[in-house]
């Protein structure tokens, strides 16, 4: 059986990627390498319990010896690297963990991949790919009339999170130019969808709305993000892995920019329809709170390269994707409440122990 090695596959996007990947008949088995930080949740992968095509290893990507053992044992044909500290607000509170995982961890993984790839021959060496999953936040903040980020926009990260991701992107690039490691990089906009940790805007608002709590909107709520349904991001990663040109970066976006206030109003409208309150609207819970320090004003992503070169397009509109997400949230309250109570950290099943 052939394998791919996925890092961070118990997190939000990684879990969606692993679930989507293994839904395809005949897809390679997945070696899922995840440290299980607060953001890692094996309950998201419950449907794969005891699957012989999903091998879970609780491993830190900073642990070179453990990575070497996994490469030697499973001989993956590709690495898909999602593992990261990913929340901007946490990076402001404590940047150290972001440097450790996003920079040192990516470096360690690159070194392990390079050592493994250097020992490959023939077609095994030719097909090997290292796909690094990154963010549009490396490009910094746009003025209202600036064009959207393209692959050639200069990096200008403004938070410790985006700076650590930018550093990782640079390392990945350097491993291609210096050592010839066959790398690919994707820079994606804000994702939303199932299994999203409720500290990020969309799942946080859903959770707080249903709990009758204030819905915190930072600053004036007019910061703009481009939103993409997570399944569309996973499809983009699969397309880049299959057909992307080695050494290239690909922007991934939903062509769907909204102010935060618009997003929160749309969520409240969907909840008013799908889970109406006894009286009034969820909108009455919206509360403006102090702004995030260094808060980027506007992101917008030009993903024409991915569309033209690789034929990728979004399947979900913001309306269909957000409706699906709200429905998922309403139908999976136990996933959300186990995160909030901390129970999800106890739910590590023996079938997943690596
Ligand atoms: P997440 O925080 O939900 O999940 C991260 C996962 O990585 C968790 O399972 C965690 O346990 C694991 N992890 C953290 N440190 C680790 C370490 N040292 N070793 C091994 N595993 C570790 O993040 P996400 O939202 O799923 O994002 C995944 C990737 O996509 C990240 O690289 C992020 O920068 C990128 N990205 C995210 C978004 C978004 O909107 N969420 C958008 C663009 C790009
Ligand atoms: P977030 O989901 O943290 O993603 P990112 O910072 O990576 O874009 O935040 C999305 C936007 O929502 C961002 O502009 C900050 C804002 N925001 C709020 O207004 N209130 C909140 O409680 C959170 C978590 C975010």
* Residue 161 annotated to the active site: yes
Is residue 187 classed as helix, strand or coil in its secondary structure? strand
262 carries an active-site annotation: no
Residue 102 CB burial class (10 angstroms; 0-12, 13-18, ≥19): buried
Closest listed residue to residue 193, CA positions, set 235, 151, 155, 149: 235
Look at residue 348 in the predicted model and tell me its pLDDT: 62
- pLDDT tens digits, 138-174: 999 999 999 999 999 999 999 999 999 999 999 999 9
pLDDT band with cut points at 50, 70 and 90 for residue 347: low
In angstroms, the Cα distances linking 4 to 63, 131, 237, 264 are 19, 11, 13, 37
**352: pLDDT confidence band, cut at 50, 70 and 90?**
low
pLDDT digits (tens, 9 = 90+) for 164-191: 999 999 999 999 999 999 999 999 999 9
Tens-digit pLDDT profile for residues 68-120:
999 999 999 999 999 999 999 999 999 999 999 999 999 999 999 999 999 99
140 lines ligand 1 (CB under 6 A): no
| Domains, in order of start, for the chain | 3-352 (3.40.50.720)
Over pLDDT 90: what percentage of the chain?
A: 96
Which pLDDT does position 281 carry in this prediction? Answer: 98
Q: How does DSSP assign 290-310, residue by residue?
A: PPPTT---B--B--HHHHHHH
Residue 299 falls in the annotated catalytic set: no
Over residues 194-221, the mean pLDDT reads 98
Tell me if 43 sits within 8 A of 344, measured CB to CB.
yes
- pTM of the complete model: 0.98
The single residue of 85, 137, 169, 302 carrying the catalytic annotation is 137
Q: Rounded to the nearest whole angstrom, what is the distance from the C-alpha of residue 74 to the centroid of ligand 2?
A: 38
CB of residue 184 inside a 6 A radius of ligand 1: no
pLDDT per position as a tens digit, 260-275 = 999 999 999 999 999 9
State if residue 179 touches ligand 2 by the CB under 6 angstroms criterion.
no
Q: What pLDDT shows up at residue 143?
A: 96
Catalytic member of 28, 60, 136, 169: 136
Question: Closest ligand to 190 CA?
Answer: 1
In a 10 Å sphere around its CB, with 0-12 CB exposed, 13-18 middle and 19+ buried, how is residue 346 labelled?
A: exposed
Q: Quote the pLDDT of residue 196.
A: 98
Measured from the Cβ of residue 178, the count of other Cβ atoms closer than 10 Å reads 9
For residues 230 and 13, the answer to whether their CB atoms sit within 8 Å is yes
Atom of ligand 2 nearest to the CA of 292: 15
Q: Does ligand 2 have an atom closer than 6 angstroms to the CB of 225?
A: yes
pLDDT (0 to 100) of residue 54: 98
The share of the chain scoring above pLDDT 70, in percent, equals 98
Q: Give me 303's structure tokens.
A: 């993903």
Looking at residues 297-322, what average pLDDT do you find?
Answer: 98
CA proximity to 43, closest of 333, 354, 246? 333
Confidence of residue 50 (pLDDT cuts 50, 70, 90): confident
Q: Compute the distance between CA of residue 350 and CA of residue 54 in angstroms, rounded to an integer.
A: 13
Would you say the CB of residue 157 lies under 6 angstroms from ligand 1? no
* Average pLDDT along the chain: 96
């Amino acid at each position: 059986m052939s394998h791919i090695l996925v890092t961070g596959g118990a997190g939000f996007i990684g879990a969606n990627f692993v679930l989507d990947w293994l839904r395809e008949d005949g897809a390679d088995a997945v070696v899922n390498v995840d440290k299980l930080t607060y953001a890692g949740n094996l309950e998201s992968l419950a449907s794969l319990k005891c699957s012989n095509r999903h091998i879970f290893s609780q491993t830190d990507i900073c642990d070179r010896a453990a990575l070497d053992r996994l490469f030697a044992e499973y001989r993956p044909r590709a690495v898909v690297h999602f593992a990261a500290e990913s929340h901007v607000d946490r990076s402001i509170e404590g940047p150290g963990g972001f440097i450790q995982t996003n920079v040192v961890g990516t470096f360690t993984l690159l070194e392990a991949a390079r050592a493994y790839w250097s020992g490959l021959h023939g077609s095994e060496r030719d097909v090997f790919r290292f796909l690094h999953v990154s963010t549009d936040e490396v490009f910094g903040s746009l003025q209202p009339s600036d064009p959207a980020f393209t692959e050639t926009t200069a990096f200008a990260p403004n938070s410790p999170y985006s700076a650590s991701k930018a550093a990782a992107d640079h390392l990945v690039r350097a491993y291609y130019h210096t050592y010839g490691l066959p790398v690919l990089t994707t820079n994606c906009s804000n994702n939303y969808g199932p299994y999203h940790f409720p500290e990020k805007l969309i799942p946080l608002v859903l959770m707080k709305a249903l709990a009758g709590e204030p819905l915190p909107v930072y600053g004036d709520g007019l910061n703009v993000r481009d939103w993409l349904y997570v399944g569309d991001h996973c499809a983009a990663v699969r397309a880049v892995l299959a057909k992307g040109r080695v050494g290239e970066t690909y922007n991934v976006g939903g062509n769907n920019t909204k102010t935060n206030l618009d997003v929160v109003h749309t969520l409240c409208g969907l909840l008013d329809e799908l889970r109406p309150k006894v009286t009034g609207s969820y909108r009455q819970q919206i509360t403006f709170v102090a702004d995030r320090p260094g808060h980027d004003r506007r992101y917008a992503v030009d993903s024409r390269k991915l569309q033209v070169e690789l034929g990728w397009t979004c399947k979900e509109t913001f309306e269909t994707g957000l409706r699906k997400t709200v429905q998922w949230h309403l139908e999976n309250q136990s996933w959300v409440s186990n995160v909030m109570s901390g129970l999800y950290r106890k739910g590590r099943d023996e079938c997943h122990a690596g």
